[in-house]
Structure 1
């Protein structure tokens, strides 16, 4: 059975998203605006045609009856020749052309009906005009004129007034319909505008959320990287630019992590090299002085002391080598320090006493080699030897939660506040000249990281106390 392929979110560029948001909100509004303009254009055309019809029909109705009745009167009484009838008939034909023009712009049924009646009246008028000219007697002509011509022109005038009235009422209907439709369209535009604004706000919130959320996550990621946490996860984003920015941050974090790891390894190798150089330089000098003391003991007949001193020297060098390991059990570091102090006590028996009191329960904990012995050496040469009378070096250990605390204290010369500040700054910055407290502090920071290290306190004339805080877990390196 095939596995279900997870649905991948479609990614889109920020510019494309903005254009899509703009078009999705503007196109509906533009369509409504076009529809509104089309409706206005349609009704404006109808309004103009109706207005033109009213103007033409009103002008026609003002003069047609009076002018035509007067011309026919002149023909009836003989003031004009019968040959001039064609000119008067031409006026009727002009009126028929006007009716045809009005018909082209008339859409209302009542208006069309009026125009049909007017056409019929005009055709009848033309016939009556011809009949009038065929009558020879004056009295009959005048009677025919009154009972036919004037009555027909009166009917034409009355029917034209009906047409004007119908067109006026239709114009009112057009205005009312236009107003109603505009109101409906405006209401629809308002509803669509609200809906569009709602969609716009929803999409805007979604777009801003699609920007703010991943940017906030990337900001948190950068802060984590700044705090030294390079185990970062990719941020999910629907915008291509943010995705690329996140990929760049991830690559940067991985590169920084790799560079820091290289620096750490190089620093560790440097410390190992320095440790080997220190052992190569210090041990021969220490060995020379110890052998010189052994010779002096033998020459003085103190063979038991010489044997004991040789035994301590053997233990000292055996633990110094530690099969090349830089991480050793605390029990070996204790033996190494104890053998060193025993050897030095033979040389400085008049001024040196020591006490090493570290619980056996801590013996199995792994610690960096040369963590305690350099502190004892420092206490001897910079504390005990610089005071009058006998001094004492005390080494203790205790357990605290996930750490152990080792303390090396002496009641020697101590340090002035200025010198203490210099030493504390050297420990804090890692600045050191030769092998001393700062070297031990830096190696502890290298192996254990933040939360562990060295603190030192001292008072001139009273002594110095150095405290090491080490973790219970450390990775041994061969």
Structure 2
């Protein structure tokens, strides 16, 4: 049966589920409606008869006796009374009672009441005739006491007896209905239990045939979400989900190829971008330095020119490094020291510096141009903007797991808004923005590409206080980079 359900479409499965759920319920509802209608048909006529008889009993004797008494004593005239309407109405009530009851005894009671009503009409007619003439007062009172009062009492008692037997019949019907309801409830509960059992079985089979393939497909998508684009095992069957799984596998093959191509193109693009940025730094710096050498030479500062040219030579010697991408931390220190010496010639009145890197880290391999862009950023966006004496401190710390290189300045610092913008630019993956923190993004991107996303730079800054940029590098890659001294990466 399960194999059959796996071959049925989802639409058909849902239709079967609805059919087996709704049809038994609809049948039970129809059955209950029919039963309720039957009970109503039994109750309604009896209740109506009792209501009519009760209304008849409440109005009949009081109205007839009082109206005829006033006519007999001469207080009212027959023509002004409504006695005829009352008698006609009583005829109609009695006819309704006779037609409404199903009991032979009650039909007999009604016929007796109708005969008494006819006798009552004759007595009333005789009293009315006597009232047209004088001298019949005693006779009229005798007719009123011995005929009219007695007959209305008889009719009232017959109606009450009718109501009594109708009430008994209503009780019998109630007991029969109650017994029938109990039996019906037992049957309904039994049928409901059977229907629920069958429905539960069908729900289990149908839902299992739907949910398991969907869960399998969800598991596949989770694996894809984690980056696993390998082909997945296809479940057998001919429903829509099996077709979807087959198409999904075909899509995975294409996605896997596309992802590999995109990764390759992105890496190539990032390498090209970073190389371009790295190449752009030196010409700009060289132009400014040559301008400085020119005006110093023109000013006759020969000793200063020699020092500046020597520092520039050392700066570019480390920058080139025979094309290597990794240099030792000692060489990187020499690089930033040369850079700071050159900048001191230009900004002697506002720039001081201090370098404190432990000797133990001198042979630690780092990416070339890791610290120089940070020092440059500290000068141009920190010290220079402060417009007064400032100091840059470069220091290093280490433990068994990592190395922290810090570039501190007591320059202008940054507002919280500016700091947040630069942090977002640094942490954003994708093409590097040239103007985002003047090289900070470049350095962070290169570190992440080579060491992993858990490494990089962290910025702390306070406006009018200064900025600290911390470079986080892994210590456990020391041996690896010493062995791979000529890695062809950024």
* TM-score normalised by structure 2 residue count: 0.49
Quote the Cα distance in structure 2 between the aligned partners of 1:449 and 1:338: 28
Q: Does 1:238 align with 2:235?
A: yes
Q: What secondary structure sits across from 1:356 in the alignment?
A: strand
Quote the Cα distance in structure 1 between the aligned partners of 2:400 and 2:207: 49
Residue of structure 2 equivalent to 1:370: 369
Residue of structure 2 equivalent to 1:477: 488
Contact 1:397 1:404 in 2 (8 A): yes
| Structure 1 residue 338: Cα displacement | 1.2
Give the CA RMSD over aligned residues: 4.0
Residue of structure 2 equivalent to 1:258: 261
Contact 1:268 1:446 in 2 (8 A): no
> 1:197 and 1:300, CA in 2 relative to 1: closer, same or farther beyond 3 A?
closer
| Structure 1 residue 457: Cα displacement | 2.1
Residue of structure 2 equivalent to 1:287: 290
| Structure 1 residue 309: Cα displacement | 3.4
Contact 2:312 2:338 in 1 (8 A): yes
Quote the Cα distance in structure 1 between the aligned partners of 2:258 and 2:400: 35
Choose the corresponding residue for 2:270, options 262, 267, 271. 267
Q: What secondary structure sits across from 1:287 in the alignment?
A: helix
| Structure 1 residue 337: Cα displacement | 0.7
Quote the Cα distance in structure 2 between the aligned partners of 1:422 and 1:433: 12
Quote the Cα distance in structure 1 between the aligned partners of 2:401 and 2:295: 44
Residue of structure 2 equivalent to 1:338: 337
Q: What secondary structure sits across from 1:383 in the alignment?
A: helix
Residue of structure 2 equivalent to 1:348: 347
Residue of structure 1 equivalent to 2:76: none
| Structure 1 residue 217: Cα displacement | 2.3
Residue of structure 1 equivalent to 2:225: 223
Please identify, of 380-389 and 262-271, the stretch whose mean Cα deviation from structure 2 is larger. 380-389
Q: Does 1:433 align with 2:438?
A: no
| Structure 1 residue 375: Cα displacement | 1.4
| Structure 1 residue 292: Cα displacement | 4.2
Quote the Cα distance in structure 2 between the aligned partners of 1:213 and 1:422: 42
Contact 2:415 2:462 in 1 (8 A): yes
Please identify, of 203-212 and 264-273, the stretch whose mean Cα deviation from structure 2 is larger. 203-212
Residue of structure 2 equivalent to 1:380: 379
Quote the Cα distance in structure 1 between the aligned partners of 2:5 and 2:278: 57
> 1:199 and 1:426, CA in 2 relative to 1: closer, same or farther beyond 3 A?
closer
| Structure 1 residue 314: Cα displacement | 1.5
| Structure 1 residue 354: Cα displacement | 1.1
| Structure 1 residue 208: Cα displacement | 5.4
| Structure 1 residue 408: Cα displacement | 0.6
Quote the Cα distance in structure 1 between the aligned partners of 2:405 and 2:458: 11
Q: What secondary structure sits across from 1:477 in the alignment?
A: coil
- What's the CA shift string for 1:320-372, capped at 9, x where partnerless? 11223344333322221111112223443333221112223334444332221
Which structure 2 residues correspond to residues 120-131 of structure 1 after superposition, within 5 A? none
Residue of structure 2 equivalent to 1:444: 447
> 1:344 and 1:290, CA in 2 relative to 1: closer, same or farther beyond 3 A?
farther
Residue of structure 1 equivalent to 2:311: 312
| Structure 1 residue 465: Cα displacement | 1.2
Q: What secondary structure sits across from 1:386 in the alignment?
A: helix
Q: What secondary structure sits across from 1:409 in the alignment?
A: strand
Which structure 2 residues correspond to residues 104-123 of structure 1 after superposition, within 5 A? none
| Structure 1 residue 269: Cα displacement | 1.1
| Structure 1 residue 253: Cα displacement | 3.4
Quote the Cα distance in structure 1 between the aligned partners of 2:291 and 2:5: 76
What is the aligned residue count? Answer: 288
- What's the CA shift string for 1:255-276, capped at 9, x where partnerless? 2232133122112212212322
Contact 1:210 1:238 in 2 (8 A): no
Residue of structure 2 equivalent to 1:323: 322
> 1:454 and 1:200, CA in 2 relative to 1: closer, same or farther beyond 3 A?
same
Quote the Cα distance in structure 2 between the aligned partners of 1:351 and 1:282: 19
Which structure 2 residues correspond to residues 131-170 of structure 1 after superposition, within 5 A? none
Q: What secondary structure sits across from 1:353 in the alignment?
A: strand
* TM-score normalised by structure 1 residue count: 0.51
Quote the Cα distance in structure 2 between the aligned partners of 1:243 and 1:382: 57
